[in-house]
Amino acid sequence: MRKSRVVIAGLLAALAMGFGVSSASAAPGVCSSGYSCVWYYSHYNTLVGSGAESAVSLNSGNFPAAIANKSNSAWANGGSCNYTEFWTQYLQAGSKFTLYSQTRLGSNYRDPQLSNGAGFDGAGINFANDIASYRFTGCA
C-alpha cells in the first residue's frame, strides 16, 4: 500500500499518532531512502510552526498544501529510483528540475537553496516557493 507521509514541525506528536509518521522521515536535514523531501526553509532547516517539511513516498504525486509552492530546499532519495523530478505545477506539469537519488547515484541529490537554480537541469531558474508535485523516474 502506498502512503504519503507529511511532517509538520510543532505537530509531530499529533501527526505521528494520526498518520504513522516515522522518526526517520521527521529528522531535519535528512531524507530517508524511498522519499522525496522538501523544506520550507533553505539548507533543510525545520523551525517550529513553519509548515516545515514534507517527505513523500508515492511514485508520483502532489505535495500537501501546507508545503506546496512554499519550499526552499529539496532532497531526493528515491530508494530504487535513480531520479526525482520536482514540478512547479500539480500533476507533474509546468517547469521542472531533477535531482539524482542519494541511495542509487550518491551525488547531486540535494539542493539547499532553490532560489539560485536547482538540480542538474534547472540551473539559473528560481524554483524557490514554486514546487507543487514530484515524480520518481529511472526506477529498477
CATH class of the 4-139 domain in this structure: mainly beta
How far apart are the C-alpha atoms of 51 and 59, rounded to whole Å? 23
- Tens-digit pLDDT profile for residues 97-109: 999 999 899 999 9
* Phi, psi dihedrals of residue 21, rounded to the nearest 5°: -75, 130
- Tens-digit pLDDT profile for residues 9-55: 222 222 222 222 333 344 456 788 888 888 888 888 764 343 445 66
Q: Give the CA-trace dihedral at 81, 67, 86, 62, to 10 degrees.
A: 70
Note the pTM of the prediction, 2 decimals: 0.74
Domain boundaries, the chain: 4-139
